[in-house]
Structure 1
Amino acid sequence: MEVAVLDITGKDTGRKVELSNDVFGVEPNDHAIYLDVKQYLANQRQGTHKSKERAEIVGSTRKIKKQKGTGTARAGSIKSGVFRGGGRMFGPRPRNYSFKLNKNLKRLARKSALSIQANDNNLVVVEDFNFDSPKTKNFVNVLKSFELDTKKSLFVLDGENSNVYLSSRNLKNSKVINSSEINTYGVLNANKIVMTESALEGINSHLSK
């Protein structure tokens, strides 16, 4: 599959690049996509939820009523979860939600996501670009050139590009990442993916293994 190379104003440069069938032309694997997205979202969870259990409640330790003869259930502590103000039974505890996935599966999931976006014509390849200084206005102009100012977009660059990254940081619908940081959730969550030529080469070499 060939796609035209554009400049940052959205104009055709007259050049074309070939998208590797090994990366952008695979048969999408829905289950691999599901697992990779599930892992990504699980890794975003802090897992710091915690409620107090009966051992952590401050209160008297005396037996609150006699064992027999009251006609009601026996009770030994005011800190029991059955009483108001007592500890919570089986409440949430801090935990780590992350889990491991096979590298080959993650690679398949990312190739599947890129193939879906490429087949839907949601992939744009642009010349390598940079800004002289970090200014949000410069990045907004780029978005307007591609009619992405009201849509979710993912810009994939090659290497560290602090000026472009800082220029996009205030815009909630746009995200700038390095080619090595590409992930299934980010690819599928964007309406359009804008990728530089050098980033395309990096993705091809990284995912074609």
Structure 2
Amino acid sequence: MPKAKLFQLDGKESSIEVSKAFSDGKINHDLLYRAVQSYLINQRQGTRAVKSRGQVAGSGKKPWPQKHTGRARHGSFQSPIWTGGGITHGPQPANFEFNLPKKMKKHALLSAIRARFQEERVTFIDKLEFERPKTKEAAALLERLGLPQEEKILVLVSKSENELPVRKSFSNLPRVNLALAIAVSPYEIIYHDRLLVTSGALEELTARVN
């Protein structure tokens, strides 16, 4: 297994074994496109709606008699051509769900991770611990690791590390987001310029793609 540099919270360095599947292999751009498309489409709520003439409140009374008034014929106050009437062919609630098969999801995630690995935009840290929420400490940590804050950074943590002090310490930093390794999507990885991955998160990522 290839090895990568592993940083400690106190600034010391060691090494960590990384799955060959992450560092080697081809990037399937078509599959990445489909995964990103699926993620973005599934963000749609599909709840926008307007009322048709049959849904607008009001009586069914005819505005005026059909003949002998000299005015144009009308049959309903809810007609689309009246102010306050229904909308013709307006949007209605819809389900836009678009899911990929499990194998495609797995290989899309693998391609996203490979893309960042091959660009050398992944930094490993042993673990993340904060006694209390402190944005200043989180910013200082990123600076020590040489992660430029003008770039978008995704911090990947394991389920056990997803604690309130860790989440809040990073939440106020612009262009920095935190995600769980067991749930991160290919879109989130590709959207961010750099990854900061804990050793626990790396284990969970490896388990997901194996």
TM range (shorter): 0.7 to 0.9
Closer, same or farther: CA 7–72 of 1 in aligned 2, 3 Å: farther
Mapping of 1:46-61 within 5 angstroms?
46-61=45-60
Greater mean deviation of Cα atoms: 72-81 or 34-43: 72-81
CA positional deviation for 1:111 = 0.4
Quick one: distance in 2 between partners of 1:154 and 1:184?
12
Match of 1:177 in 2: 179
Offset from partner CA, 1:120-150 (integer Å, 9 cap, x none): 1111111223111122221121222233322
SS at match of 1:195: strand
Residue 8 of structure 2: aligned partner = 7
SS of match in other structure, 2:159: coil
Query: Residue in 2 aligned with 1:160?
Result: 160
Checking the alignment, whether the CA contact within 8 Å between 1:67 and 1:75 is kept in structure 2 is yes
Equivalent residue for 1:128? 127
Deviation at 1:8, TM superposition (A): 4.0
CA contact (8 A) 1:153 1:192 kept: yes
- Give the CA deviation at 1:106: 0.3
Single out whichever of 69-78 and 102-111 deviates more from structure 2: 69-78
Do the aligned partners of 2:156 and 2:180 also contact (CA within 8 Å) in 1? yes
Contact 1:154 1:187 in 2 (8 A): yes
Distance 2:153 2:48 in 1: 32
Task: Give the direction of change, closer, same or farther, for the CA distance of 1:69–1:31 in structure 2 (3 Å limit).
Answer: farther
TM-score by length of 1: 0.85
1:70-85 correspondence runs (5 A): 75-85=74-84
Matched, 1:149 2:159: no
Q: Distance in 1 between matches of 2:154 and 2:34?
A: 21
How far has the Cα of 1:167 moved from its partner?
A: 1.2
Matched positions, count:
206
% same residue: 28
CA distance in 1, matches of 2:99, 2:159: 27
**Could you tell me how far 1:68 is from its partner in structure 2?**
7.8
* Cα gap change, 1:33 to 1:67, in 2 (>3 Å): farther
Partner of 1:34: 33
Q: Give, in whole Å, the separation in 2 of the partners of 1:194 and 1:147.
A: 9
Give TM-score, length-normalised by structure 2.
0.85
Q: 2:12 and 2:122 mapped to 1: Cα distance?
A: 14
Larger deviation, residues 54-63 vs 93-102: 54-63
- Bigger shift: residues 36-45 or 55-64: 55-64
Structure 1: 5+ residue stretches without partners: none
* Superposed displacement of residue 93, structure 1: 1.6
Q: Which deviates more from structure 2 when the two are superposed, residues 168-177 or residues 113-122?
A: 168-177
Deviation of the 1:176 alpha carbon: 1.4
Task: Extract unaligned runs of 5+ from structure 2.
Answer: none
RMSD, aligned α-carbons: 2.5
Measure the CA separation in 2 of the matches of 1:125 and 1:142: 12
